[in-house]
């Protein structure tokens, strides 16, 4: 069999693809294991204890702060930001990057709806909620939407001099939004972690399928 077609990629490219694939497999494995534990209610004790601990830090000031910050990771807010940035990228003739951002975030939002319908996990009822939520809990839509946006932007800005600024800002954004859902008592920690895992997996798939260079 002629394997000469494999030479179209350099050894460095194959190494990168190998690392990405290994990361993809790890993310999928972790999510499957976590989802299995959630289905069997094996995480209830940890989830409950963690939320109760977080609630010990509650205060009127933090209530206000996290009510505001949690909306920054809402699906509608994230999609609005995504559309605005995609239009901006498109107008600067970075069309493949605009498509990557739109599919990365939009696909994560749709995937979240599907997974919530599959698992049908009820939200925590440990104290009176400060925000109203009607959908299922697993995985967290806010965690998925915010991390999908953050990861897509990290990929887009990776070749630029703004790389570390974007990485730092993205990390803070994702962590604050994720923690806000725990503080407000509308998600279990495993909902948040699952959202991050699925989101990262989806962004990797999108990058592999749509892969781009400059345009």
Of residues 59 and 9, more confidently modeled: 59
Q: Is 134 helix (H, G, I), strand (E, B) or coil?
A: coil
- 164-189 pLDDT, tens per residue? 999 999 999 999 999 999 999 899 99
Q: Which residues of 74-105 are buried (b: 16+ CB within 10 A; e: fewer)?
A: bbebbbebbeebbeebbeeebebbbbbbbbbb
Contact residues for 211 (Cβ-Cβ < 8 A; gap 6+) = none
Which of 55-64, 121-130, 168-177 is the least confident region?
A: 121-130
Residues in the chain: 215
- 4-39 pLDDT, tens per residue? 444 545 556 656 666 667 777 888 888 788 888 888
């Amino acid at each position: 069999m002629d394997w000469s077609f494999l030479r179209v990629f350099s050894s460095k490219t194959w190494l990168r693809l190998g690392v990405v694939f290994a990361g993809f497999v790890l993310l999928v494995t972790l999510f499957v294991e976590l989802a299995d534990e959630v289905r069997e209610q094996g995480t209830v004790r940890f989830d409950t204890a963690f939320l109760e601990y977080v609630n010990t830090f509650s205060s009127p000031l933090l209530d206000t702060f996290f009510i505001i910050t949690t909306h920054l990771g809402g699906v509608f807010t994230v999609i609005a930001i995504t559309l605005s940035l995609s239009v901006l990228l498109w107008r600067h003739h970075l069309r493949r990057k605009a498509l990557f951002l739109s599919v990365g975030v939009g696909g994560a939002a749709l995937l979240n709806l599907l997974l919530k319908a599959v698992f049908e996990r009820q939200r925590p009822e440990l104290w009176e909620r400060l925000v109203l939520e009607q959908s299922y809990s697993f995985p967290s839509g806010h965690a998925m939407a915010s991390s999908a946006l953050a990861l897509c932007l990290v990929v887009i800005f990776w070749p630029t001099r703004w790389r570390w600024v974007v990485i730092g800002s993205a990390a803070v954004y994702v962590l604050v939004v994720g923690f806000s859902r725990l503080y407000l008592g509308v998600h279990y920690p495993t909902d948040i972690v699952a959202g991050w895992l699925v989101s990262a997996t989806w962004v990797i798939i999108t990058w592999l399928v749509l892969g781009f260079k400059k345009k």
